[in-house]
Amino acid sequence: MNRIAEATLANGRKIPYVITDNPPRGGMKYTYFAPDRSYVVQFYNDPSKVDRNMTARLEAIIGRYNPTIPESKGGAVGGDEKLAKYFAERFCWPTDLVVAPEIGLVSPAYPKSFFFDEHASKFLELKGKDKKSNWFTSGNRRFLNKSELGDFRSMLQMSLLLSRSIRRLHQAGLAHSDLSNNNVLIDPKSGNCVVIDIDSLVVPGLFPPEVAGTRGYIAPEVLATMELDRNDPRRVVPGSMTDLHALAVLIYEYLFLRHPLMGPKIFSAESAEKDDFLGLGEMALFIEDPKDSSNRPASLKNTIKDVGPVLEKLFLRAFAEGLHDPPLRPSAMEWEQGLVKTWDMLHKCSNPDCEKKWFVLYDSADPVCPFCGQRIAEKNVVRFELYSEVRGHSGEWKKHSEMDIVNNTPLFKWHTHSNIFADEKADGTMQAYACCHNGEWFVINTHAEGMLSPQGNPVPKGQAIRISDGTVFRASSDPRGMVIKVRII
Amino acid sequence: MSEFTRRLPVYLLLDISGSMMGDPIEAVRNGVRALISELRSDPQALETAYLSVITFNSAARQVVPLTELMMFREPPLNAGGATAFGAALRLLAECIRAEVRKSTETQKGDWKPLVFILTDGAPTDEWRAAAAELRSTHPANIIACAAGANADTTILRELTDCVLLMNNLSAGDLSQFFAWVSSSVKMSSKSLDAKPGANIELPPPPQGFVIVP
């Protein structure tokens, strides 16, 4: 039977919540909802583990490390209203510490889009259940309606948003420490994701939480050393370095719908538990390892090569070089930047039945969708190669990235300036766009300052330049402005 | 979609002897139904957990063989008869031998099965040898729940160290028991924090349940 109870917050305020018989229970906490379900109140399964260290950590998380409220209101340093609003959509960040009836937390309820509605599945009653990522990245996909599944572009977008969220944590010195399919909810339909269970964050200078971790996401070095004594310096505890393993696993799962380490190789014939312990721990082996194919499934339809050289390199660093050598793993920022670059290479598949709908068009010599085999509909591949001037070496230009261009492809500030990055602070105003008219290509300047024509003449806003294969022009005459080289292949 | 997903076999051993007649057996039916629905809505459990039901009264019967959750059909459960606990344990051992994939040099085996036993009375057959064998060969992690005033926990203790006592056989308590089974299965399908061979971690038992030391 349900009844209303009251929780007292650290600031003395009292808020109501509904006590239910079998509240949803995770590894650490159980959850009650607000009468209007706008927030949740969570208590710990084992209140005896709540101590001064833990409440100090929770206070820091809710206050001075909180990126979801502006600095002016007691949140993290450097956050204004706009940034706070941005991250409030990316994290389900706890808002208050509960002090009575016992220590607990108040967090906002997840946005509606992270709960299934009644149209989610023909086979299962999923209405109201949260969208844990392995609904979408495992065999469970077959139970969901097609409209839930998103496409390759939405999966890439979620990978990018997740990388940004983790980068934001790491930038503040925080680590999630229990990043997993259960702690990131995803909505492939809209391409959004939200990081939850923020209370297990590792906070600089404070005692770390005791996290169990989740099978498949625990870093190999944590599994391999967990039998060592608590005080043994060789024992690895979760932190930002192990987050980077979990982040790479999640991105790989979003893009390939499979786990990067779970292959056919048998690591121990003794028991499933031992086999797993080794195969995800000290003997872990990437299923696409370039040197050792012993864990490679017989049928691997798509591989890391199919998502372009930028991501391919990052995956190799995460799962080949860095699997057992944590410092070699790509940082969250490298993932974020690599995913932005890859985003610019996305091409819409012309096959209306293609399940993935979008693919990374990296090979201009063979412009074919790797998922369905369809060749692009366009006559040519149009490429913008973006070059930035090497700092301190005037006149020396280095390739920054490439863009796949179709009619109406927009250029933003991060395409016209090498010092502007497509992050949460970036100005999303379109600066210019490419346009194909009667078989000829143009770049139309809408907002770019200081665009120059191939001849070096100013191109004012509202005017266009004609481009063809080999055209080189300056997107902005600012010192950090990019030079763009056009290739029509 | 991995073809290398290993299964978590879950066996329910349910006492349907005469003393379960009426409200208790109805509560068990509802509990099984709720368990299935709960597990089907957890993606990890749905992917890995396989479920079998063994009932026992005057005889033991596997009423549902080890089945993936989506294909699971609720068995008819009718109470009546004696408590052939020993026969149920022997049948359990047989089913595990036949149904659970072993780890070998060439095959990815299943996880160690989880077994939940619910019984409300004392065995009416010979059970000691079967219990001793299960204890020594340890083919599964067994959790036994003694329900109601007449349940004999000392017998269950001979079988496993993990014994719960539910003080009465009310519908509410039985429903809590099945909710706890569902949390336990979910937790086992996610966590891998214990070293191989160590005790499995289970969620805290529901209020009113006592762990028998």
Quick: pLDDT tens for A9-33: 999 999 999 998 778 877 788 999 9
Specify the CATH number for the domain of residue A88. Answer: 3.30.200
Give the tens place of pLDDT for each residue, A338-373. Answer: 999 999 999 999 999 999 999 999 999 999 999 999
Let me know if residue A424 belongs to a domain.
yes
Do residue A68 and residue A135 come from a single domain? no
- Token duo for residue A456: 């070096």
Contacts of A263 in chain B (CB under 8 A): 4
- The pLDDT value given to residue A215: 87
Instruction: Give the minimum alpha-carbon distance from A396 to chain B in angstroms, rounded to a whole number.
Output: 47
- Token duo for residue A31: 């959850």
Specify the CATH number for the domain of residue A482. Answer: 2.60.200.20
Evaluate if residue A313 carries a pLDDT over 80.
yes
Q: What is the pLDDT along chain B (213 residues), one digit of tens a residue?
A: 345 678 999 999 999 999 999 999 999 999 999 999 989 999 989 999 999 999 999 999 999 999 999 999 999 999 999 999 999 999 999 999 999 999 999 989 999 999 999 998 889 999 999 999 999 999 999 999 998 877 888 899 999 999 999 888 888 888 889 988 988 888 887 765 445 666 677 887 877 788 887
Evaluate if residue A209 carries a pLDDT over 70.
yes
Let me know if residue A367 belongs to a domain.
no
pLDDT-derived band at A256 (thresholds 50, 70, 90) equals very high
- The pLDDT value given to residue B159: 93
Give the tens place of pLDDT for each residue, A444-463. Answer: 999 999 999 999 999 999 99
Q: How far apart are the first and last CA of chain A?
A: 69
Do residue A182 and residue A286 come from a single domain? yes
Evaluate if residue A487 carries a pLDDT over 70.
yes
Let me know if residue A360 belongs to a domain.
no
- Helix residue ranges, H only, A230-384: 240-256, 272-279, 309-316, 332-343
Specify the CATH number for the domain of residue A332. Answer: 1.10.510.10
CA-nearest residue to A1 within chain B is B172
Evaluate if residue A34 carries a pLDDT over 80.
yes
Give the Cα separation of A358 and A372 in Å (integer): 10
CA distances from residue B6 to A5, A27, A216, A285, A286 in whole angstroms, order as listed: 42, 21, 13, 18, 18
In whole angstroms, what separates CA B3 from the centre of its chain?
26
Average pLDDT over residues A116-139: 93
Instruction: Give the minimum alpha-carbon distance from B123 to chain A in angstroms, rounded to a whole number.
Output: 31
CB contact under 8 A, A134 and B47: yes
- The pLDDT value given to residue B193: 47
Domain boundary among A109, A130, A164: A109
- Token duo for residue A318: 């995460």
Tell me the CATH number of domain B9-192, given options 3.30.450.20, 3.20.20.60, 3.40.50.410, 3.40.50.10800: 3.40.50.410
Q: Domain extents for chain B?
A: 9-192
Do residue A224 and residue A155 come from a single domain? yes
Interface residue of B69, B192, B195 to substitute, partner A, most A CBs within 10 Å: B192
Tally the domains of chain A: 3
Do residue A318 and residue A394 come from a single domain? no
Interface residue of A46, A116, A121, A138 to substitute, partner B, most B CBs within 10 Å: A138
CA distances from residue B145 to A233, A372, B114, B156, B157 in whole angstroms, order as listed: 42, 53, 13, 8, 10
CB contact under 8 A, A138 and B107: no
CB contact under 8 A, B112 and A218: no
Instruction: Give chain B's contact residues with A (Cβ, < 8 Å).
Output: 1-6, 37, 40-41, 43-44, 46-47, 70, 103-112, 172, 175-176, 179, 183, 187, 190-193, 195-197, 201, 203-204, 206
Average pLDDT over residues A173-177: 95
- Token duo for residue A331: 């940082």
CA-nearest residue to A212 within chain B is B193
Instruction: Give the minimum alpha-carbon distance from B186 to chain A in angstroms, rounded to a whole number.
Output: 9
Which residue in B183, B192, B206 is closest to A276 by CB distance?
Answer: B192
CA-nearest residue to B69 within chain A is A124
CB contact under 8 A, A258 and B1: yes
Do residue A330 and residue A407 come from a single domain? no
Let me know if residue A440 belongs to a domain.
yes
Let me know if residue A373 belongs to a domain.
no
Evaluate if residue A243 carries a pLDDT over 80.
yes
Share of residues in chain A with pLDDT > 90 (%): 86
- The pLDDT value given to residue A63: 93
CA-nearest residue to B104 within chain A is A269
Let me know if residue A126 belongs to a domain.
yes
- The pLDDT value given to residue B198: 64
Which residue in B106, B175, B176 is closest to A266 by CB distance?
Answer: B106
Q: Check whether the bond before A47 is cis (ω within 30° of 0).
A: no
CB contact under 8 A, B195 and A227: yes
* pTM for this prediction: 0.94
Let me know if residue A350 belongs to a domain.
no
- The pLDDT value given to residue A169: 97
CB contact under 8 A, A138 and B110: no
CB contact under 8 A, B192 and A277: yes
Do residue A251 and residue A337 come from a single domain? yes
Do residue A274 and residue A386 come from a single domain? no
CB contact under 8 A, B197 and A276: no
Interface residue of B102, B189, B193 to substitute, partner A, most A CBs within 10 Å: B193
Instruction: Give the minimum alpha-carbon distance from A281 to chain B in angstroms, rounded to a whole number.
Output: 11
Let me know if residue A272 belongs to a domain.
yes
Evaluate if residue A211 carries a pLDDT over 80.
no
Length of chain A in terms of residues written: 489
Evaluate if residue A67 carries a pLDDT over 90.
yes
Concatenate the DSSP letters of all residues of A79-102 into one string. Answer: --HHHHHHHHHHB----EEEEESS
Concatenate the DSSP letters of all residues of A304-326 into one string. Answer: GGGG-HHHHHHHHIIIIISSS-G
Interface residue of B39, B44, B102, B141 to substitute, partner A, most A CBs within 10 Å: B44
Evaluate if residue A335 carries a pLDDT over 90.
yes
pLDDT-derived band at A102 (thresholds 50, 70, 90) equals very high
Beta strands, E only, B21-179: 49-56, 60-68, 114-119, 141-147, 163-166
Do residue A391 and residue A307 come from a single domain? no
Contacts of A274 in chain B (CB under 8 A): 103, 196-197
The three-point CA angle B194-B199-B202 to 5° equals: 85
Give the Cα separation of B101 and A403 in Å (integer): 50
Q: What's chain A's average pLDDT?
A: 94
Give the Cα separation of A367 and A373 in Å (integer): 10
Length of chain B in terms of residues written: 213
Handedness of CA B170, B171, B173, B178 (dihedral sign): positive
How large is the ipTM?
Answer: 0.89
CA-nearest residue to A180 within chain B is B190
Comparing A44-53, A62-71, A283-292, A312-321, which segment has the lowest mean pLDDT?
A44-53
Give the Cα separation of A458 and A477 in Å (integer): 9
Do residue A212 and residue A135 come from a single domain? yes
Give the Cα separation of A104 and A97 in Å (integer): 6
Do residue A121 and residue A190 come from a single domain? yes
Residue A302 domain boundaries: 114-343
A94: left (phi over 0), alpha (psi -120 to 50) or beta: beta
- The pLDDT value given to residue A291: 97
E strand or H helix at A358, and its extent? strand A358-360
- The pLDDT value given to residue B3: 57
